[in-house]
Structure 1
Amino acid sequence: MSRANAPISSVTPLGNGSGIAFSTSGERTEQTWLLELEQQAVYRSKTPKLVVKGLKQLLDAQLTFTHFSTNSTGDLLVQWGAPGFARSFTTLVEANGQRRRLDLEASGTAQLLPGGGALIAPEADGLVLSNLPGRPQRRQFLPGSRDLSSFCPTGGRALLVRRWPDYRQSIELLEPGQAPKQLWIGLDAVMGTACERSGERIWLLLTHWDPVKNTQTPRVIAMSRSGVIQNQRELKGWELETRSHFELDSTRDVLLLTLRDPKQKWGRAAELQASDLELNIIDKPIKQAFWLPAQ
């Protein structure tokens, strides 16, 4: 790891668990890396062993920014910018190692669909769903000021964040062949969403800003696919760490996020039981926490 000893700016585990993509930041530029892993599940072992196979540079260039996205097959989408260029570029690193430069004109960050073969990207007036190279051409357009928040792993469903002119935000459920269905709307900021495999249960991570106390209070809401709130919890005394992820481990039925005590410099990994939202803080200073998918 001595070749990548600069501060880490972004991290994304590959969807098949075969590695971790990350970027390191210098004074004004970033470098992208892939830490290749070999997972060795041992019989009767509670924790599979992880073996580091190697570290390699993903893009041989000094970059101004990077954004990663992955799918369950282990493909990696890298959006990046380079000094001297006003536009961004997109490289698809397939699980077999083949690389393709995509002609993607997106106004924001693109995401690979979990099942593989397609991506969704924001444009000026909405979201566009399109197939990756090597598949029949397809382009579906969803109008409105929306951002993709998360996917439900099966069923082709997704959760969208819609932004309204009066500063409200709403959560919409997008299902194949149907118009988006609004599940929640309010003035709280939507910081993340999570969805179980079938989409029957959905979780929202929100923050409420108190201008008088100059504080933010995270809140988690559990709801059904029809938008009925089943449980909610305020995480009083904690703040969300910057860029905190919000993910569900469906095997343990546990949500993961990164919280920070305002009196401390570093954050802590926090596990929430998906059913009753019971909170468990892992007392180890960190910046971000992620689930690593198992092969």
Structure 2
Amino acid sequence: MTGRLPFLLVLAAALVLIQQQVLLRRSPRLVTLSQQQIHSGSAALDLRFSRPMHRNNVSSESRLVPALNHRWLGTNNPLRLVIDADQVIAGPLKLELAGRDQRLNPMATQTWWWEPRPWLLVTRQVDDGEQLQLLDHDGSWKPLSPVWKRITKLTPIGNGQGVAMVSSDGEGGERIWLRHLTQQSLARRREELKPPEPEQLELLAEKEVLFGHLSSNLNGDLLMQTGGFFPGSERVELIKTDGKRQKLSQISSGPMELIPAGGGLVVPSYDNLSLRPLVDNGRPPQSLPGSRELGAFCAASGRAVLIRHWPDYRRSIELVIPGLAPRQLWLGEKAVLGVACDGSGERIWAVLGEWTGDRGVHTILLIDGAGTQLKQQPLEPWSMKGGTPVQFDPVSRQLLLTVLQPDRRETHPALMDADTLQWRKILPVDVGEAQWLSP
């Protein structure tokens, strides 16, 4: 046996070497394909392969239909496909993926269909109350919740895997729910592209609460801020993507918001607005003094838009750039009803309101990152419903608002061209609120 040991060791080493050579000569393959939420363009995909790829070769041999301008980013593996900004994507895209690895071994060409457009979510008025519904791209409505007396809060999960809601019984008690969703925005055949499939409806808080505020980041984490019926019953809890829960000891004067990229949250107080990590790192938080509230995140750049309230009752809109003092973009006496920004923070939209007699007049502004007003448009005869957001979709380059007419009771989802500020469509359904759900 002792004499055979060197032979066996040599044989084992040879087998390992042969196996390595066989694996090196095997064709590379795609391991995972997923939609990327943080990007500088209209839409993006992350691709991970079985071995490092030759990026330029993947770029030259792959084909996107329609032929939109795009870039391939990354060194070897993974790679990212980014559709250039300022391009309107009107329907599903076909990706014919091909290329070679670093040893120039070819990958078998494969076809993928991709639906990058977001889905429209609404809390729709129905018999006996309100219901969460999703609008399919073919124009049909899909229910995602039971009918409740009222839905007071709607928060899509940042990774598109669910929708959190707060339902009210109409008598002061609220419940917090999470509807899990399975996305079907990537498929090998076009007919397999479908709207998100509703899964489990999870009750997040065992008892009724007096109020509930929700916030989500692009990782899929959910912040749940609740208050009970008794003093000291306030709770702040982080529900992570894997379902694990973490209690937070943050104290705030209002709703807190998770940072899109993860790792921190924005905490308001009576005299400042602070950025705090989710895990204490021993360093003091970054704070801005004054009465400020978060308006919108510009996720791809790390920028944010703030609304500041001045002692003389004026308001201002500020752009916060990491490492720099806030940049004032607008200052005036009108109310700032809602703001939105593109991913780079170079385009900011703001809905302003003023009152003439007993009637409110709402106007939307388009401002660049330096504070130059590019366009202004009155919303008449419509006005924006108070407490609802303005949201920008980079895929279709349109804004989503929830609007109403002063002389009518119905409230509608409204789509506006983000560049011209002209209405594209006002949907003829009565809703409480409308928001985008990422695919």
> With structure 2 as the length reference, what TM-score do the two structures score?
0.64
2:242, 2:252 → 1: CA distance?
A: 26
1:130, 1:144 → 2: CA distance?
A: 17
Q: Does 1:224 align with 2:368?
A: yes
- Counterparts of 1:153-232 in structure 2, within 5 Å, are 153-210=299-356, 212=357, 214-232=358-376
Match of 2:390 in 1: 246
| Structure 2 counterpart of 1:145, one-letter code | S
With 39-48 and 237-246 compared, the bigger mean Cα shift is at 39-48
Match of 2:163 in 1: 20
1:224, 1:2 → 2: CA distance?
A: 39
User: Which stretches in structure 1 are left out of the alignment for 5+ residues?
Assistant: none
| Structure 2 counterpart of 1:89, one-letter code | R
Does structure 1 conserve the Cα–Cα contact (< 8 Å) formed by 2:148 and 2:168?
no
| Equivalent position SS for 2:351 | strand
Q: Does 1:288 align with 2:433?
A: yes
Computing the radius of gyration from Cα coordinates, the structure with the larger value is 2
4+ long deviations beyond 6 Å: 1-4
Distance change >3 Å, CA 60–CA 185, structure 1 → 2: same
With 215-224 and 47-56 compared, the bigger mean Cα shift is at 47-56
- Counterparts of 1:1-295 in structure 2, within 5 Å, are 5-26=148-169, 27-41=171-185, 42=187, 43-44=189-190, 48-86=194-232, 88-133=234-279, 136-138=281-283, 139-210=285-356, 212=357, 214-279=358-423, 280-294=425-439
| Equivalent position SS for 2:299 | coil
- Quick check: which one's helix share is greater? 2
Compute the RMSD of aligned alpha carbons. Answer: 1.7
Between the two structures, name the one with larger relative contact order (CA 8 Å, sep ≥ 6): 2
Does structure 2 conserve the Cα–Cα contact (< 8 Å) formed by 1:118 and 1:131?
yes
> With structure 1 as the length reference, what TM-score do the two structures score?
0.94
Does structure 2 conserve the Cα–Cα contact (< 8 Å) formed by 1:4 and 1:24?
no
User: Which stretches in structure 2 are left out of the alignment for 5+ residues?
Assistant: 1-143
2:344, 2:435 → 1: CA distance?
A: 21
Distance change >3 Å, CA 2–CA 268, structure 1 → 2: closer
| Equivalent position SS for 1:10 | strand
Distance change >3 Å, CA 87–CA 166, structure 1 → 2: farther
1:234, 1:46 → 2: CA distance?
A: 42
* CA drift at 1:264: 2.2
2:159, 2:281 → 1: CA distance?
A: 24
1:112, 1:168 → 2: CA distance?
A: 27
* CA drift at 1:150: 0.8
With 258-267 and 65-74 compared, the bigger mean Cα shift is at 258-267
Does structure 1 conserve the Cα–Cα contact (< 8 Å) formed by 2:152 and 2:168?
yes
| Equivalent position SS for 2:196 | strand
